[in-house]
Amino acid sequence: MVLEYEKYHVKTAKSGLDGVEIFKEFKPQIVLLDVKMPGFNGIDVLRNLKEVEKNVEVIMISGHSGIEEAVEASKLGAFDFLEKPVSREKLTLTVRNAFEKNSLVRENFFLKNINEQKYNMIGESPVMKELRKTISKVARTNSTVLIMGDSGTGKELIARNLHIQSSRKDRNFVQINCAAIPEELIESELFGHEKGSFTGAFEKKIGKFDSAHKGSIFLDEIGDLSLKAQAKVLRVLEEGEIQRVGSSEIKKVDVRIIAATNKDLPEEIRNGRFREDLYFRLNVVPVTSPSLNERRDDIPILVEHFLKIFSEENNFKKREFSTSAIESMKKYNWKGNIRELRNVVERVLIMTDSKKIGEGDLPDYFRTNESSELIDLSDIKEWKDFKKESEKFFLEKKLDEFNNNLARTAREINLPRSNLYKKIENLGIIINNNREADNGLPHTNGEESPGSAGQDGF
């Protein structure tokens, strides 16, 4: 009567067994449970209820229970223990507190589910199925993982899934982009610093490794880490120890390291820009993030996924892409990978009003892309000219596919790198971005330039 007067929806049970059955159907947020009952006592019922729904709040009530039963109930997850006779004020206050706690727990569970859904790996292509299988195996361990792949392929998504599926999922996932932080500040960001340890250090700072204690840290673009910082990361991997800038104290941390790069690290090692010992410590379990061009059959699913997200976020009316638009997108050379596809879907949704998005609604470069897929044979008269144009066309396409990364292109097409340089020079192929071409442009003598290194740019 008291609880119904307070506007709670109440159901009662005459015994413990009866209560368990009603609970399964009624699914209440709060249970008031007597300890002493014939046949099936309150402790047994509590144990059963928690097996059915661990988040239910159970308030135990007893007139003559001892400390032992109260302790047992607490261990099993009881919210509170009330003694008979229970006053109206005590009852309503305890139920209100239990309701508030349960509402917060349910809200957190809901938000956590929404958050984890953001990191669902979309795709049913063979490479994606294999990737999910690898993540499932690796996530259960504490092994260090090195994720390799081009920009925009979803390396962060892989790292998130490794964390979400691990035993550390309830702890922090700390992310840091090593390329986005100036070299003079990266050590402070990673390991923290003491007050006054350098100009501008006005207060003590906790580093990312400290924040990730018992959780996971994701070192994105680790190929851009300075050699000095690399040495300190190696120490964490080998000894589990960190040292703040300006401090003599050595601190132990328990962190799972997940690193990612779009650089050719073996090439960086040969050029003295990356530590070989750190590479071997990071590369315990290598995972490759496939490019979108390797999983074109996933494009319709990804488009549908992005359509749903952007429509919900912006309250757009329901729309769809035509078959011809999807086919055009499947033929396109996605240099920017998933990131580029996501941007295209968002842009088209904003700029197009029609319910069905056609091929003509796609950006202009989708249509010019098709014409570039064929060699113009009208001016080719001799076999040697055709052979030259075919080689040029093939190399230009491969260089474009691998973002002008000469080292990777040579490796993928199984051509010695020096030969690739000579071909580029002889065929008059222009590399648009020297940095992304790894600064290894051909010389007149056909030799590689010193310090050439592969860089997967975006």
Q: Does residue 444 sit in the same domain as residue 356?
A: no
Last residue of a domain, one of 67, 88, 116: 116
User: Rounded CA gap, 422 and 419, in Å?
Assistant: 5
Residue 132 lies in a domain: yes
Q: Does residue 313 sit in the same domain as residue 225?
A: no
**43 within 8 A of 70, measured Cβ to Cβ:** no
How far, rounded to the nearest angstrom, does the alpha carbon of residue 120 sit from its chain's CA centroid?
9
Residue 336 lies in a domain: yes
Q: Does residue 140 sit in the same domain as residue 214?
A: yes
User: Rounded CA gap, 253 and 206, in Å?
Assistant: 13
Nearest in space to 413 (alpha carbons), one of 382, 384, 391: 391
Range of the domain at 339: 293-371
Q: What CATH number does residue 322 fall under?
A: 1.10.8.60
Q: What CATH number does residue 443 fall under?
A: 1.10.10.60
DSSP state of 318: P
Angle at 131 between CA 109 and CA 327, to 5 degrees: 100
User: Rounded CA gap, 173 and 195, in Å?
Assistant: 26
Which residue bears the tokens 């648009």? 432
Nearest in space to 446 (alpha carbons), one of 426, 418, 411, 405: 418
Residue 244 lies in a domain: yes
Last residue of a domain, one of 290, 309, 325: 290
Last residue of a domain, one of 258, 290, 322: 290
Task: Give the pLDDT confidence score for residue 447 in this predicted structure.
Answer: 37
Q: What CATH number does residue 33 fall under?
A: 3.40.50.2300
Nearest in space to 266 (alpha carbons), one of 282, 252, 246, 251: 282
Q: Does residue 135 sit in the same domain as residue 222?
A: yes
Partnered with residue 173 across adjacent β-strands are 216
pLDDT tens string for the chain (458 positions)? 899 988 899 999 988 888 899 999 888 999 998 888 877 888 889 999 998 988 899 999 887 666 777 778 888 888 988 888 888 999 999 999 999 988 888 877 766 666 666 788 999 999 999 999 999 999 999 999 999 999 999 999 999 999 999 999 989 999 999 988 888 888 889 998 888 777 777 788 889 999 999 999 999 999 999 998 999 999 999 999 988 888 888 889 999 999 999 999 999 999 999 999 999 999 999 999 999 999 999 999 999 999 988 888 888 888 899 998 999 999 898 989 999 999 999 999 999 888 899 988 998 888 765 444 556 566 677 888 888 888 888 888 888 777 788 888 888 898 888 888 888 888 888 775 433 444 444 433 333 333 333 333 22
**16 within 8 A of 49, measured Cβ to Cβ:** no
**156 within 8 A of 328, measured Cβ to Cβ:** no
Task: Give the pLDDT confidence score for residue 445 in this predicted structure.
Answer: 37
Q: Does residue 187 sit in the same domain as residue 267?
A: yes
Task: Give the pLDDT confidence score for residue 443 in this predicted structure.
Answer: 39
User: Rounded CA gap, 199 and 202, in Å?
Assistant: 8
Q: What CATH number does residue 172 fall under?
A: 3.40.50.300
Residue 121 lies in a domain: no
Mutual angle of helices 67-75 and 42-52, in 10-degree steps = 10
268, two tokens: 């960086």
176, two tokens: 């840091």
**396 within 8 A of 429, measured Cβ to Cβ:** yes
Q: Does residue 278 sit in the same domain as residue 356?
A: no
Residue 237 lies in a domain: yes
**196 within 8 A of 203, measured Cβ to Cβ:** no
Residue 107 lies in a domain: yes
User: What's the number of domains the chain is made of?
Assistant: 4
Q: Does residue 317 sit in the same domain as residue 285?
A: no
Share in percent of the chain as helix, strand, coil (round to 5): 50, 10, 40
Residue 426 lies in a domain: yes
User: Rounded CA gap, 436 and 403, in Å?
Assistant: 7
Beta strands 216-220; 356-357: pairing state: unpaired
Q: Does residue 210 sit in the same domain as residue 280?
A: yes
**203 within 8 A of 195, measured Cβ to Cβ:** yes
Which residue bears the tokens 């912006």? 314
Nearest in space to 300 (alpha carbons), one of 341, 347, 360, 350: 341
Q: Does residue 271 sit in the same domain as residue 167?
A: yes
User: Rounded CA gap, 204 and 193, in Å?
Assistant: 6
Q: Does residue 102 sit in the same domain as residue 233?
A: no
Residue 403 lies in a domain: yes
**290 within 8 A of 123, measured Cβ to Cβ:** no
Q: Does residue 388 sit in the same domain as residue 309?
A: no
**191 within 8 A of 234, measured Cβ to Cβ:** no
Task: Give the pLDDT confidence score for residue 376 in this predicted structure.
Answer: 59
Q: Does residue 367 sit in the same domain as residue 380?
A: no
